[in-house]
Structure 1
Amino acid sequence: MSLFAASARREVQLLSSRPWDAAMLTWVPLLAMALLCWIFSTGQPYRLPIAVWDEDHSSLSRQLVRMLEATPGLALQAQVVNRGEAADALQRMAVYGVVHLPPGMARDVKQGRGASITLLHNAQLATASSLLQRDLRQVVGTLSAGIEMQAAAKRGTPSQALQTRLEPVKTQLVALFNVSTNFEQFLAAALVPALIHVLAMTAGAWSVGRELRDRTVAQWLGAQASPTQVLSALLGKLAVAFAPLWAVTLACLLYLAQLRGWAVAGSMGWISAGLAALVAVSLAAGAALAGVTLSLRTALSGAGLLSAPAFAFSGVAYPLLAMGEGARTWALAMPYTHYARLQLEQWQMGAPVAQSLPVVAGLGLATLVLLAVATAGLARGLRLPQRWGGR
């Protein structure tokens, strides 16, 4: 039996005797991905709770309140009567925002002086805050346009000219990708591989570091193993982790593409290849950390440090080009950043395969380098039995 097959068989036997180790490669990733898909299954946030602080009590303010209630993105939860109640509702997070209608609003509008409607909101909750601002602008803009059109009609302005006078210059916004601005399409699909990146790097560090902790390195590799034999045994061990992690993630992406209806504009096969490269480089990185440090605890800490913030630096949530030089350099050093670009190009943009080819090639090259580092570290570790058994 080859060293690759023998190592793979040994790893399967170890996993079968340790159910929780096997769980981290099978049903735990599947459960975590199912939870992600369920969280974003609504697609867009609707019925965000707000409160209204109406100090005008006029027909105009009541009309505005009715329009707010009719907006799908908003849900009027309460009417507060003073600043204290408004502050309390926001601090308890019973509502995401409070709409303040000032006293004398209707009078000021009738006299042509205009009025200001204030939205009190917590900008720390960036998504909710931006959605509230968008919906309130639309409601107030519609109300203001209606008031202006009524006033212009009373002055004898022809109805055909009203729209042009209200908006002489128009803005046309054309969304090329993710037209519905659906969170499931861009965020859930991006978080699934980010999660597997964390799990795969942890699995690589754990599977190699476990041999060091249990003092079984010589049993696994052989006491006099050459670098080629070490590499073969390492590949056999990592292949056992690679297969379920890649398969579970691909199944989740296929669920989003086929059953949830987010059709892939480019090549699903190329996304699959990029995902395989991401899982491989993540496993190799974890193994390299364990091989270099010869410590399970240090390898796991390094895996968490490198993989956990990968999504934040990927450019999916915060624009990559808006980052500082140091942050952008760190982001470009992370494999997930490049995979995220490939997935966006192929899934939503329908980019040519040739445009994504450098990503797969780069991840493959990085995998080979990290495997070489892991192999060198393990070959060195074989000569240092005093380092075995550490946590």
Structure 2
Amino acid sequence: MATLLTLVLPDFVVDVERRWEGLAPTHPLIVGGAADGPGQVVAACRVARAAGVRPGISLREGALLVPHARFVPGILDRYAEAASQLDELVRRWCAEVDWVAIDRAVVAASAVKSGSLAAAADAMQRAIRDELGLGSAAGLADTEVAASVAAALVAPSGLLQVLPGYDERFLAPLDLCWLPPLSAAARERLAERGVTTIGALAAMAGHEAEAAIGAGWATAWRSARAEAPRALAGTALPRTLTRVLPLTHQVSSEDVQLAAEHLADQLSQGLAQIGAFAHALTVRVMGVDQRFRGRGFTLRESTRQRADLAPVARTLAARLWKFGDPPVRVSVVASGLTADGPQLSLFGVPSHDQSSSRRLEGLRTARNFRALARGSLARRPRAS
């Protein structure tokens, strides 16, 4: 059986924007700014790319190629929120995940919680599509390069498994454009030497590959030979946890604070479920103009207690209320996750007094966090 899974979301940015804008899958979408703006295309859907739109061309040129496309500026907060939700979803099936990029993850078979790697990959893809509205492709192989190429071959959605021991033979007949570490300039130099397939590159001697490719030749050459040059750096905890609440009616400042407190309660439960503690909390609100405003706060001690998180979330929400239009959406993000809780006392506690000491420490921690939130985030009077 394959030992590695590469999960790729090839149209992550476009899919996130399409979900937010409520566009049909066939409607052309270009990310980067207004159609008559001075900027460049950041990402484009497959319909627009088929018409000649490519990242890096001017937005005006993109508008000429696809005049009926929807142009959106691209909002980083949307991608951060989607990435957090994606990370949490993938970890339902995996104990450790190595996020190579915001839209690419590598999972070892040994990290799958139950069942086979192929079954976990299929379940992940279904959940990503049904719950997040995002497309994904998966490749299974013994090496990361073969798994990545397999995922690329079945993009934007699909699953391809390379038989065990066949990674090099799977790669050999493919064009060099499928080899991730190889630049376009390097491919041109190899083509001048008659090397156009991955197998032909793998058959070259090391010094020949170095002379033809130049910088980075070792990584490309070893990848062509289906070797595994990189050790996985999987993590057991997600980077962040995010909870979101839409506001469907005209709200007051108290409503927004209650919403933030409710989301902090959900985060507390989520942190307890995965055995994590948070070092920081961020509250984001979105107005009717779909612009995000956010404020973050670094906690003095890592915590997952509702009594610690809720007052900070309320205070941050109250501060955000003072700026901009009333929000239509609130989200709270716990970040800096760790498996280590608040620092314990250096001195032991007598056994007969442990329960009362724990209650006292809990009260002290909650009181400290509330005081810290009020004191550090409240507006201080200016010195005369």
Structure with the bigger percentage of helix: 1
Please give the TM-score of this superposition, normalised by the length of structure 2.
Answer: 0.30
In the superposition, the TM-score normalised over structure 1's length comes to 0.30
Higher RCO, 1 vs 2 (CA within 8 Å, ≥6 residues apart): 1
Q: Which is strand-richer, 1 or 2? A: 2
Largest Rg, 1 or 2: 1
